[in-house]
Structure formats: C-alpha cells, structure tokens
Amino acid sequence: MRSFYELQKDLITYAVILVAIFAFRQFRVRRSGEVHAAQLAAELSQARLRHLTAQIEPHFLFNALNAISNRMHEDVDAADRMISDLSGLLRAAYDSDSQALVPLASELQWLRGYTAMMSERFRGQLSFQLNVQPGLEAVAVPRLLLQPLVENALRHGLADGRGSLCVDVERHGSQLRYVVSDDGVGIGAGPVKPGTGLSNVERRLQLLFPGAHGFDLRPRQPRGTLATLSFPAAF
Amino acid sequence: MSHTVFIVDDEPPARAKLARLLAPLPEFAVVGEADSVDGAAAQILALKPDVVYLDIQLGARNGFEIIEAIRGIHSPYIVFTTAYSQYAVRAFGVQALDYLLKPFDRERFLRSVQRVREAMADADHGDLEERIRRVLASMPGQAAAAKQILVRDKTHAYFVAVDSIERICAAGNYVEIHSGGKVHLVREPLSKLIAQLDPGEFIRVHRSHAVRVSFIAELHPMFSGDYELVLRNGERLALSRRYKALLPAAIRQRL
C-alpha cells in the first residue's frame, strides 16, 4: 500500500518537472519566434523596397539599342554618348544591392542619362528642363524615385513623343520636393487614379517615411499634368 | 516594277533606320511615313502602299488598330517591327509576313525583304483574309472562340462541340465538319465558320481546308513546294505553300 502512495507522489513530481520543461521550451520557442519575425519583417520590407523600385523595362532597352544602331550610321560620337548614357541607366538599374537612399547627385545623374536617351529617340520632339536648387547635391534621397514619375509623364502625358517635361528639385522646410510637370494631354478633371508605377512610389515612400511624405497628382494649367512629391530629408 | 513601302513608327530614328536599309534596294520605294495610328491609317488608305512596316506600340495606342482601320479597303503586306518580344511570342506563327524584333541588323532585315519578295511573286492575296484573322485574333480583348457549332439537318438542329472537330472543308455551298468519324454539313461560307474558331487551334492549310493543329501527324514536302499533311486518322490533305508561312513556328521550323 505504501509503495502505491510513493508511486503517486513520484508521479506528481514527474508531472511538475515535465510541465516546467515544456513551459520553458515554449517560452524559448516563442522568444526566438519573435526575434525571427522581426528579422523577417525587416527583410521583407527591404525586399518590398527593392521590388517597388522601378527597373528598366526590356522594351526601353531594345528601343534604345535600335536608336543607337541607327544613330551610329549618322554620327559616331552621338552614338557613343548614347551607349554611355544607356550604360549608366543599366548600372543604376542593376545596382540592386545598393542602399535605399542615395545622394541627390546620383539620382540627377540618372535623370540626365534618361532624358538624353529619350531626346535622341524622339529627336526634335521632346524637350527637357531640370531646375535644381543649389547646395542639395549631397542630400540623401530614395534611389530611382524620379524614374516612375518621369516615365509616367512620358507614357501618359506625352504619349505621342511630343512636348516638354520639367523637373524641379527644391527644399521646402524640412522636406525635399520634386515637381514633375509636362504639357501633354493631361489627366482631366476628377480624382486621379495612379498607375502601377505611381502607386509603387506611394508604397515606397510609406515604407521609408511612414506618414511623413506627400504625393499629389493634378492637372496643370493651361494643359498637362503636375506631380508633386515631398519627403523628409537631412539638409 | 517598283513596290511602294510605307513606314509606321513613333520614333524618328526607327523610321530613319528602315528608310536607310530600304534605300539601296531598287525595287522598293518608300512613299510615306507616319508616327501615329490615325495618321498612318489615313495615309495608307490614300497611298495604297504594297508593303507596310508597322511598329506595334505607338504611344498609348497600338499598330493593330491600323490593320483594323484599313481592313476590307486596302490590304498591304504587313511586316511588324517591335521591341516587344511578348507580342512576338504570342503572335508568332499567327502573324503577317514577318516580325522584326528591334534591334535588328541588316542581315535579318534582308531576310524579311526576301519574304516580302516571295509573297509578291506569289501574287494571289487569297491568304490575306486568313492572315488578318490571325492578327486580329492575337489582339487582346477579342471575342472568345466558339465552344460549339450549331448544325441543322432535315429533322432537327443540334450542336457539335468544337473540341471534337478534327477538320473542316468547303464543299460547294456547304462546309463539312469532320468530327470523330462523322461528317456534319453546315450551310455557311468556310471563312465565316473559320472566323469563329481559335487560330491557335485551327489553321487554314488550303483554300478549302482548315485542320486542328494537334490532329496533324506528319508533313511531307512535295515537288511543287506544296506539302502533304497526314492526319492522325490517316487521312491525307494538301498544304498549299501559301499557307505554309502561317503554320505555327513549332511546326514550320521542322519543315
């Protein structure tokens, strides 16, 4: 009879030990799970940023190469410049390991290469203007953020390859502001529904500067479209 | 005799390139250029060129719209030039005379010129309707192909499932629908019936015949440049060389 009671006591002890071990393991699993989840979230937002960053579309590349293949019969130096512009664009697009933020100077270098290429492809039909407030070259800005804005203006506003495009970069209080305007067909009255490229811009800004950015797309007078984008910057 | 050529592309360098490549060819004369859908359609109808080099992406619009605008009025030979391989993949084998992917070199361009020459030597435009059917069917937003065909005989009307059709052929005022060993007669022109079928599934092999692609077992070259088709049930059909160019690339390349 006695051994029966002892057995019972031992059983309770075993049970308590088992529960303690189980609870401790659960605690560790949950903790490492939380750490892991935070890590995953960080990686995911990095991946999202990369994914949302515009890339060079194949048809842009092929049309550019086609324009070069014609230009080299007319002017070898001009064709040479186009190859160097295109290489700069490709380098920026393939540099996916680089930081989410880059100096404004490198973003502007991208823009100059891009507009030079488009000016060649639509020679005598498209004109570009770039106004940058002096002293902003070193300010950190999101990489390739201007690309979808400029592409959108060319694809929708100036779809027939004619017109002018203007990019202004200026400081606005504690924010940096991009203004991209074109004199194309315009977006018409009523609410504007941004395309994929532009909604990616929104989502990138939201990931980088939650709640601290501005993005606005509206008809421009007398014609065309005006896109204004602002985000916090360290001056 | 010189053939007239019209160039449609929204990028000036792309037009200049085609003009430059065509310039040394004495039998071709570029009669005009356009950079938009509306301008191109109007000028093509006015100038009636023999050949049109046609870019697909024209600003926000599409080169296929030009084909639609001139359909039934003027039927030039169409050579597509485009940077979009995704269009090419989808449209290859169901396309016009050729599909030049940008950037292309002189050698590739001259191969396409050779295709134009051959098509012109074979002056019958009988296959043009078929080409246009395929080009239009490859456009996004086209009506879906029919799933069944209504057949009426003396006593009643019934449906034949398109999936079961092996081939169709013209027979006087009727069209014979061959399906699982049976023959159904429909009183309709062949071209009208073919227009309801998916060009990816059925191809026209002869003025009076269309065959389900997957029902073709073998192809045999004949002395005349024509081919003989052997179907899965052992039946033999002639493949006219005019329709050969329209075969899906996967089959054509094996010829």
If asked whether residues A173 and A69 sit together in one domain, one would say yes
pLDDT at B73: 85
Residues A35 and A68 in one domain: no
Q: Which CATH number fits domain B3-137: 3.40.50.880, 3.40.50.2300, 3.40.50.11810, 1.10.150.120?
A: 3.40.50.2300
- Closest residue in B to A57 (Cα) is B84
Option in A74, A155, A161 nearest B11 (CB):
A161
Task: Please give the Cα distance from A117 to A85 (Å, whole number).
Answer: 7
Identity of the residue numbered A73: H
Q: What residues in B contact A67, CB-CB < 8 Å?
A: 11, 13-14
Q: Mapping DSSP to helix (H, G, I), strand (E, B) and coil, where does residue B188 land?
A: coil
The tens digit of pLDDT for each residue in B1-32 reads 689 999 999 999 999 999 999 999 999 999 99
- Taking the CA of residue B12 and the nearest CA in chain A, the distance in Å comes to 6
The domain tally of chain A equals: 2
Range of the domain at A44: 1-52
Q: Which of B59, B85, B103 sits opposite A65 (nearest CB)?
A: B103
CB pairs under 8 A between A and B: 64
Exposure on the CB side of residue A201, measured as CA atoms within 13 A:
26
Residues of B within 8 A of A73 (CB-CB) are 20
Q: Give the H or E element holding residue A59.
A: helix A58-74
Domain match, A156 and A218 both: yes
Question: For residues A160 and B35, what is the distance between their CA atoms, to the nearest angstrom?
Answer: 8
Whether A1 and A115 map to the same domain: the answer is no
Task: Give the CATH fold of the B148-252 domain.
Answer: OB fold (Dihydrolipoamide Acetyltransferase, E2P) (2.40.50)
Cα separation of B80 and B98, whole Å?
6
Distance from CA of B11 to the nearest CA of A (A): 6
Q: Per-domain residue ranges for chain B?
A: 3-137, 148-252
| pTM of the predicted structure, to 2 decimals | 0.65
Interface of A with B (CB under 8 A): 58-59, 61-63, 65-71, 73-74, 120-125, 155-156, 159-161
CB-side exposure of A130: number of CA atoms within 13 Å?
Answer: 15
Do A121 and B16 lie within an 8 Å CB cutoff?
A: no
- The domain that contains A202 carries what CATH number? 3.30.565.10
A145 and A103 in one domain? yes
3-state helix, strand, coil in chain B (%, to 5): 30, 35, 35
Distance CA B170, CA A2 (A): 103
3-class SS at A89? helix
A208 and A109 both lie in a single domain: yes
Q: What is the mean pLDDT of each run of 10 residues along chain A (235 residues)?
A: 71 86 85 78 75 80 94 95 94 78 93 94 93 95 92 85 94 96 76 69 89 92 91 93
Chain B residues with CB-CB distance to A under 8 A? 10-14, 16-17, 20, 35-36, 57, 59-61, 83-85, 101-105
Kindly state the tokens that stand for B87: 């269009």
CA-based nearest residue to A184, from A170, A167, A164, A207: A164
Specify the DSSP class assigned to residue A213: -
A17 and A96 part of one domain: no
Q: ipTM value, please give it.
A: 0.72
Paired tokens of B34 = 């356009």
Residue B169 has a CB neighbour count (10 Å cut-off) of 19
Beta carbons of A123 and B13 less than 8 Å apart: yes
Residues of A whose CB is below 8 A from B9 = none
Contacts of B12 in chain A (CB under 8 A): 121-125
- Stretch among A190-194, B18-22, B133-137, B247-251 having the lowest mean pLDDT: A190-194
> CB–CB of B54/B81 below 8 Å?
yes
Residues forming a β-bridge with A176 = A171, A231
Residue A13 has a CB neighbour count (10 Å cut-off) of 10
Residues in A touching B16 (Cβ below 8 Å): 70, 74
Same domain, A143 and A95: yes
pLDDT digits (tens, 9 = 90+) for A166-212: 999 999 999 999 999 999 887 765 445 566 778 888 888 988 899 99
